A and B are shown apart, each in its own frame.
Chain A
Amino acid sequence: GQQVMQIPQYQHVQEGEDFTTYCNSSTTLSNIQWYKQRPGGHPVFLIQLVKSGEVKKQKRLTFQFGEAKKNSSLHITATQTTDVGTYFCAGYSSASKIIFGSGTRLSIRP
């Protein structure tokens, strides 16, 4: 069946360092979304990517969707303590069937 793999599983960085998480699907995706989940909280939508090769930026966050629409990445520049949480990619294979990646848990040392 379709799988969405996400690496790394954990990332511990010094505040101010950059952070990147990668998402790879076994099949072509119609679109991909990114969510952030703080400890004890629920996933919160960050962004959706639809087009092949699409790049979107939100302040210090840069999101990319691969040319083949099978992979995506989230890059955070100069991390801050507020960036702590688990980042999930979520790939849509059809209009409403979604598979979440395994998540990357980001922790930051001040």
Chain B
Amino acid sequence: AAGVIQSPRHLIKEKRETATLKCYPIPRHDTVYWYQQGPGQDPQFLISFYEKMQSDKGSIPDRFSAQQFSDYHSELNMSSLELGDSALYFCASSFDRYEQFFGPGTRLTVL
């Protein structure tokens, strides 16, 4: 069965650079979520989209933005990267806001 696809799997950036993470949800899923997980921490909800419209915002910094496109894929754009942005970024998708299926994550390292 198709799963959530995230790209890239690993990304290394320098401070003040920008990064774009991509997420391809499971086909026919109507909700996409973005999470940030630091080492040994729980996933922190960043933002979600329902049917391509932003539905909720969590602890997403102003330097970050996200959108969902007509083909339902989503992108998380991160600017002016800081060392503290180094983390694992998960995308998850669900249908009818039920079980969330998580992607494998993108590991971002900011040097």
Taking a contact as CB atoms under 8 Å apart, the answer to whether B90 and A96 are in contact is no
Instruction: For chain A, residues 79 to 110, give those with C-beta under 8 angstroms from any C-beta of chain B.
Output: 88, 90, 92, 94-103
| A to B contact number (C-beta, < 8 Å) | 55
Are A45 and B99 neighbours in the complex by a CB distance under 8 Å? Answer: yes
Binds A, one of B11-19, B41-49, B62-70, B71-79: B41-49
Contact of B33 among A44, A94, A98 (CB under 8 A): A98
Cα-based distance from A76 to B6 in the complex (angstroms): 32
B105 at interface (Cβ–Cβ under 8 A)? Answer: yes
Among B43, B55, B101, B103, contact of A45 (Cβ-Cβ < 8 Å): B101
**Is the Cβ of B90 less than 8 Å from the Cβ of A48?**
no
Report the nearest A residue to B98, measured CB to CB: A48
Cross-interface CB contact of B42 among A33, A42, A45, A101, cutoff 8 Å? A101
Interface centre among B31, B42, B45, B90 (most CB of A within 10 A): B42
Report yes or no: A100 in contact with B99, Cβ–Cβ below 8 A: no
The 8 A CB mask of A41-77 against B (1 = contact, 0 = none) is 0111100100000000000000000000000000000
Contact at A94–B56, with CB atoms within 8 Å? yes
Report yes or no: B43 in contact with A100, Cβ–Cβ below 8 A: yes
- Chain B residues with CB under 8 Å of A103's CB are 42
Task: Decide: B102 and A102 in contact? CB cutoff 8 A.
Answer: no
* 29 A–B contacts, CB within 8 A, in A order: A33-B100, A35-B100, A42-B90, A42-B103, A42-B104, A42-B105, A43-B90, A43-B92, A43-B102, A44-B102, A45-B99, A48-B98, A92-B97, A94-B56, A96-B33, A96-B48, A96-B50, A96-B97, A98-B58, A99-B45, A99-B58, A100-B35, A100-B42, A100-B43, A100-B44, A101-B42, A102-B41, A102-B42, A103-B42
Q: Which residues of A are at the interface with B, using a C-beta cutoff of 8 A?
A: 6, 33, 35, 42-45, 48, 88, 90, 92, 94-103
